[in-house]
Structure 1
Amino acid sequence: MNNDQQCLACLLTASIHGEKINNAEVDNINWNIVFKMAKEHDVFAFLYPIIKSMQDNFNHEDEIVLKWKKNTILASIIQKQNINKMTSVLRALNEAEIQVIGLKGLVLRELYPVKELRTMSDSDILVHFEDVEKVEKILLNLGYFEYSRDSKHILFSHKRFLPIELHWKLIDTLYFKNADYIERSIWENTENVNICSATVLVPSLENQILYLCLHMAVHFVYSGFGLRQLCDLVILVETQRHKVNWNSFYEQVKKCKIENFVIAIFEVCKRLFHMVVPNELYNREVENNEYIDMIIDSVFIGGVYGGIYGKVILSAVDDKLLSYCESDRQSHSFMGKFKCIVGFFFPRADKLSKRYSYVKKHPMFIPLAWLHRLIYGIFRRDFNIDQKRVLLLSQSNYLRKRVDLFKWLEL
């Protein structure tokens, strides 16, 4: 981490634990960069109270504090409006006697010191599959419209309010072992809470933590995740630690076959935010492991919407880059590197992103898709010539390190 990244982690640590900032920890900081990173990771509103308390330390950079304040006020207004709308949604579901489980930010915001400052880009709810059509009608009547859908959820948008992700399934069997078991466990282990002046089910603490980890694992492989997801995990663990059955949690982690990833993520939270790792998840061997540094780097670079190791390099060509070099075929030999490069520039049709979906209907166009993909990467404006050079000339070494990381994480 560089100084500005360390500063951001320091600010988040202080905010999470309600501590004061040591001035020595934020000396020689480029506050414009810190604010930009906080915005990219969508944690700027959460940080504003501590920034306000440090205002005397900014000297001639009052404009940063003012900008931070304006953005936070706007964000909190949007969040308030959204929660008011979610109140009408959840009440309508209550009146229809539809069981609904609240997920992620909708539930976790209640644990933040100022819940309006835990921003959300959408609201996630889970219902039984047989209730999906009923919920669709309710949402349509409330002014939402279907934006997209897949095998697990429908995304509903609104002209004035934040989207809603309507899930009937959370865990993809393609990614995790025993997904059906975990789905059943989530429904069988819930409690009633009051959220947005409505009755909502929430998963057990163990399942909330497990779902956060599963969600991060998928995003880590395919699109990247940022600091906000880690903050959610830290705040949930720190505030509810003594209520969690950690043995039960770890057993579920093992059933999903993500032990290494979860242990690594808890160590990342320990390094960045001084989170105390439960004994059941503590592993001394990861404390000084270079792979933890690689994960931290990827989190800072990737941000909330970044790519697998940062939008600058990898999304320039494809968001599933590593899938071209499955670990069981990767070799450090010349032939292994050659196959890696060929697979990178000339991927199979099923390895191409949605941008090239026309190949699935017309396989004969795959040479056109390769050319399309190459031209798209060359003319991207969000990365410079040097970064393109690294991408083109150093791909095999770059990928090998990432493949080694994924093998270590067993993802």
Structure 2
Amino acid sequence: MNHLLTGRYAVHLIDSLLQGTAPENKPEEISFEDLYRLSVFHNVSTMCLSALKKTDQEIEPELLKKWENRSALSTGQSMTQLHERKSIYEALEENKIDYLPLKGCLLKDMYPDPNYREMSDLDILIREKDADQIKSLMENMGYTCDAFRQYVHDGYYRKPFMHVEMHYRLLSEEHFRIHSWDVTHGDFFFNPWKYAHKAEGCRYCFDEDDLYVYLIMHLAKHYLGSGAGIRQFTDLYYLNQNLHLDKDAVYEKLDQFGLKEFCITAEHLVETWYQGREPDEKTSEMESVVFRSGSYGTQDISLNRQMDKYEKEHSSSTFLAHYMRERLFPSYDELKNQYPGLRDHPERLPVYWTKRILTKGVQAVPQKLKDAKAISRILKERKGK
């Protein structure tokens, strides 16, 4: 697949849908099969198909049926999410529990059709003191709790595809450590309720500048980790269309984490896609990563980024041993989010290493072998360059 040409045509389709214009026909160099695969990879298949249907291009019947089925499934999932979002909000209101919608819960409403904005889960900020009561509410609504007080959020699942994350914090200290962000400026992310404002009833919101900073940080976390795709960057377009931002204040806050230039480049990339801005070297480089990332990033991007960081101080030949050691024996900062009992007892770290290996070791073996093979392959590729 030519990721660059296919990605740019997918973006053109989305742009035509947003602008209400008829898209051009696809370049001969790309196939509809590749376009379908990329649109699914980036969770923009519904938008791409909706735009394609405004052209006179003929898609192979078998592929068209597969695409339409995928779009129908995505639309059905979206409608279920919207219904469940309303039900959860109502349950929280009835029980006088404060909540603050995050990420896709907000972004869906910024798109011309909420069903265009595909997402995997609902994200809601709660007060940690309400976690037990919310757990009972969610279980009464038919959800199963699959993660409770193990990280920065509690996770809930209900068949066939409903996932809900109830967050206590926006980001963890571990996220800051991984990306070398200054933790002394992280209070908004660790104690977000201090910055929340009542909107209506029990619903709260952030100032628009703070909301934008959070979403840029969240985007950067993914992009600088395993990658971020077309959908996440398209969100930036809608944020800038819908929010009244003080960009000087936003950039000043992001500069505390070394992310001002990242934000500006990301904004410029979106402007090249949807507002006719001329690309430059920085946006072209970012675009290449975005098209290869998909909605949730890839293992190759993640491993290459980790290797780049490791090679600044060590030899790449020792990376595999380092990586496996980090996976088997994570740091205190990483494990304290998974095991709350460790938070006040860092001296018990070896005990939790053992517990983790005993409970997850056998199940994790196939993934560890897969990781080792991927690292060996990437090391060979890097040596060959």
TM bucket (normalised to shorter chain) is: 0.7 to 0.9
Contact (CA 8 Å) 1:349, 1:363: kept in 2 or not?
no
Equivalent of residue 326 in structure 1, options 309, 314, 326: 309
Give the aligned partner of residue 57 of structure 2: 57
2:341 matched residue in structure 1? none
* Paired AA for residue 162 in structure 1: M
Paired residue for 2:262? Answer: 261
Q: Of 350, 353, 361, which aligns to 2:354?
A: 361
How far, CA to CA, are the matches of 2:258 and 2:71 in structure 1?
39
Q: For residues 51-90 of structure 1, what are the structure 2 equivalents within 5 Å?
A: 51-54=52-55, 56-58=56-58, 61-90=60-89
**Distance of 2:204 and 2:140 partners within structure 1:** 23
Is the CA contact (8 Å cut-off) linking 2:108 and 2:114 kept in structure 1? yes
Structure 1 position 226, deviation (Å): 1.4
Q: CA deviation at 1:108?
A: 0.8
Shift of residue 234 of structure 1?
A: 1.3
Q: Within 1, Cα distance between the matches of 2:94 and 2:372?
A: 54
Question: Which of 178-187 and 158-167 deviates more?
Answer: 178-187
Bigger shift: residues 259-268 or 150-159:
259-268
Match of 2:361 in 1: none
- What stretches of structure 2 of length at least 5 have no aligned partner? 336-349, 359-364
Q: Look up the match of 1:231.
A: 234
Work out the number of aligned pairs and report it: 351
User: Corresponding residue for 2:340?
Assistant: none
TM-aligned CA distance change 1:397 to 1:106, over 3 Å:
farther
- Name the SS of the counterpart of 1:53 in structure 2: coil
SS at match of 2:166: strand
Q: 1:69 to 1:345 in 2, by over 3 A?
A: same
CA offsets per residue over residues 109-142 of structure 1, 9 Å max, x none?
A: 1111111232221100001122222211211111
Q: Which amino acid aligns with 1:114?
A: D
Q: In structure 1, how many angstroms separate the alpha carbons of the residues matched to 2:44 and 2:231?
A: 6
Name the amino acid aligned to 1:376.
K
> Are residues 1:104 and 2:103 paired?
yes
User: Which residue of structure 1 aligns with residue 15 of structure 2?
Assistant: 13
Structure 1 position 321, deviation (Å):
5.2
TM-score if structure 2 supplies the norm length? Answer: 0.78
Q: Distance in 2 between matches of 1:39 and 1:373?
A: 24
Distance across 1 between alignment mates of 2:355 and 2:64: 54
Residue 46 and residue 343 in structure 1: after superposition, are their counterparts in 2 closer, same or farther (change >3 A)? same
CA RMSD, aligned part only? Answer: 3.5
Q: Give 1:162 deviation, angstroms.
A: 0.9
SS across alignment from 1:225: coil
Change (3 A) 1:275 1:269: farther
Q: Structure 1 residues 330, 132: CA separation in 2 closer, same or farther (over 3 Å shift)?
A: same
> Do 1:44 and 1:72's aligned partners in 2 also have CA atoms closer than 8 Å?
yes
Distance 1:199 1:109 in 2: 21
- Any residues of structure 2 matched to 1:158-177 within 5 Å, and which? 158-174=158-174, 175=176, 176-177=181-182
Indicate conservation of the 8 Å contact 1:324/1:344, yes or no.
no
Amino acid at match of 1:157: Y
What TM-score do the two structures reach when normalised by structure 1?
0.74
Paired residue secondary structure (2:309): coil
CA offsets per residue over residues 353-397 of structure 1, 9 Å max, x none? 98xx999439999xxxxx9888535767xxxxxxx9862423358
Amino acid at match of 1:304: S
| Residue 154 (structure 1) aligned with residue 147 (structure 2) | no
Q: Name the counterpart of 1:217.
A: 220
2:291, 2:91 → 1: CA distance?
40
Moved more, 154-163 or 30-39: 154-163
Given that 2:13 and 2:48 are in contact with CA atoms closer than 8 Å, whether structure 1 keeps it comes out as yes
The answer for the alignment partner of 1:406 in structure 2 is: none
1:180 to 173, 183, 187: 187
Which deviates more, 247-256 or 128-137?
Answer: 247-256
Please say if 1:296 is aligned against 2:287: yes
Identity of aligned residues (%): 19
Q: Which amino acid aligns with 2:187?
A: D
Q: Which amino acid aligns with 1:9?
A: V
**Counterpart residue identity of residue 319, structure 2:** G
User: Cα gap change, 1:94/1:374 in structure 2, threshold over 3 Å: closer, same or farther?
Assistant: closer
Asked if 2 retains the 8 angstrom alpha-carbon contact of 1:191 and 1:204, the reply is: no
Kindly indicate whether residue 42 of structure 2 is the aligned counterpart of residue 41 of structure 1: yes
Match of 2:89, as an amino acid? L
Shift in CA distance, 182/257, structure 1 to aligned 2, threshold 3 Å: farther
> 1:324 touches 1:351 (CA, 8 Å); kept in 2?
no
Matched residue, 1:393: 380
Query: Which of 340, 360, 365 is equivalent to 2:316?
Result: 340
Q: How does 1:200-211 map to 2 (within 5 A)?
A: 200-211=203-214
Partner SS state of residue 8, structure 2: helix
Does the 8 Å contact 2:111/2:238 carry over to 1?
yes
Aligned to 1:408: none
Higher mean C-alpha displacement, 13-22 vs 97-106: 13-22
Asked whether the equivalents of residues 172 and 190 of structure 2 are also in contact (C-alpha less than 8 Å), the reply is no
- In structure 2, the residue corresponding to 1:164 is in which secondary structure? strand
Over 3 Å counting, the alpha-carbon distance change for 1:247 and 1:185 in structure 2 is farther
1:125, 1:167 within 8 Å by CA — same for their partners in 2? Answer: yes
Taking a change above 3 Å as real, the CA distance of residues 63 and 223 of structure 1, as seen in their structure-2 partners, is: same
Contact 1:107–1:202 (CA<8 Å) still a contact in 2? no
Distance apart, 1:9 and its partner CA? 1.8
